[in-house]
Amino acid sequence: MVQAHVQLMWPRAALAGLLLLLGACSVQPVAPPEPLPPVEVAEDSPAASLLALADSARARNDFSAAGRYLERALSVSRSGEATVLYRELAELRLAENEPRAAEGLALRALREAPDHPLWQADLWDLVAEARDRQGNEAGRDAAQDNAERLRKEP
């Protein structure tokens, strides 16, 4: 994947990490966010333009449109892009206060994730957040443990 695509996703991903830290008061403190790894949606991918539209829709709180854009992106996505799109869908469900749906989608993103510990750790953080919002403390702790272990991997 070309490096240019990183521009598209980094600010949002970093913001997501920050939100996780600031917003999840009941989540136990986690290690400071490290820069997220490159996300595999290339600039010339049809999914990238839909992702950008989903961002705009979400910024104006139009979750319905954002969800539709992301699902369309999923249907035209190339190999390796699904993990990003599921992650975005999971974040959207969290924003819609549907943590159970968010957890499933974050786990789905993990299933599609590349073998990249930091990316996976970020997704486990999302799982932890979703589980915490459901009151599943044991599940949250397990997800956080996974995230921490992955961050320590060389």
Partner 1 sequence: MPNRRLNSSILRAMPKKASARFFSRSLLLKAFAVCLVLMLVGLAWLDAFVRNRFDSHQWQLPARVFARPVELYNGQVLDSSQMERLLNLMRYRQEAGAPTPGSWSRDGQSLLLHTRGFRDSDGGEPPRRLRLRITDGRVAGLAQADGGALPVARLEPMQIGSIHPGHSQDRILVRLNETPPALVAMLLAVEDRAFYEHHGISLRGLSRAALANLRAGGVRQGGSTLTQQLVKNFWLSRDRTLSRKLLELPMALLLELHYEKNQILETYLNEVYLGQDGARAIHGMGLAAQFYFGRPLQELEPHHLALLVGMLRGPGLYDPRRRPECARERRDLVLRVAQSEGVISEAVLERALARDLEVVPRGGGALYAFPAFIDLVRRQLARDYPPAVLASDGLHIHSTLDVLAQLAAEDALARTLEQRDPGAAHQLTGAVVMTAPDQGDVLAVVGDRRARSTGFNRALDAVRPIGSLAKPAVVLTALEQPRRYHLASLVKDEPIEVPLTRGQVWAPRNFDNESMGEIPMLDALSLSRNQATASLGMELGLDKVIMTLRRLGVQRNIPAYPSILLGSLELSPFEVAVMYQPLATGGFRTPLRSITDVLDLSGEPVARYPVSAEAVLDQEATFLTQWAMIQVMREGTGRGLLGVLPPDITVAGKTGTSDGYRDAWFAGFSGNHMAVVWVGRDDNQPAGVAGSSAALPVWGQVMASVPQRSLRETAPPGVEWVWMDADGVRTSGEGCRDARLYPMMTASIPQQSTSCGERRDNDGGVRGWFRRMFN
Residue 97 binds partner 1, judged by CB under 8 A: no
Q: How far is the CB of 20 from partner 1 (least distance, A)?
A: 20
Cβ–Cβ under 8 Å, residues 24 and 5? no
Pick the binder of partner 1 from 112, 122, 129, 132 (CB under 8 A). 112
Residue 49 binds partner 1, judged by CB under 8 A: yes
Instruction: Compute φ and ψ for 78, nearest 5 degrees.
Output: -95, 170
Residue 115 binds partner 1, judged by CB under 8 A: yes
For the chain, the C-alpha Rg in angstroms (whole number) is: 14
Pick the binder of partner 1 from 1, 19, 21, 65 (CB under 8 A). 65
Per-residue HEC secondary structure of 133-151 comes to HCCCHHHHHHHHHHHHHHH
Residue 108 binds partner 1, judged by CB under 8 A: yes
Cβ–Cβ under 8 Å, residues 41 and 5? yes
Q: How far is the CB of 44 from partner 1 (least distance, A)?
A: 7
Residue 50 binds partner 1, judged by CB under 8 A: yes
**Cβ distance to partner 1 smaller for residue 25 or 125:** 125
For residue 17, give Cα distances in angstroms to 46, 123, 126, 137: 26, 10, 9, 20
Q: 144, 79, 143, 135: which is closest to 112 by C-alpha?
A: 79
Pick the binder of partner 1 from 19, 95, 101, 142 (CB under 8 A). 101
Binding site residues, partner 1, CB under 8 A: 44, 46, 48-50, 53, 57, 64-65, 67-69, 71-72, 74-76, 78-79, 82, 86, 89, 93, 101, 104-105, 107-108, 111-112, 115, 120
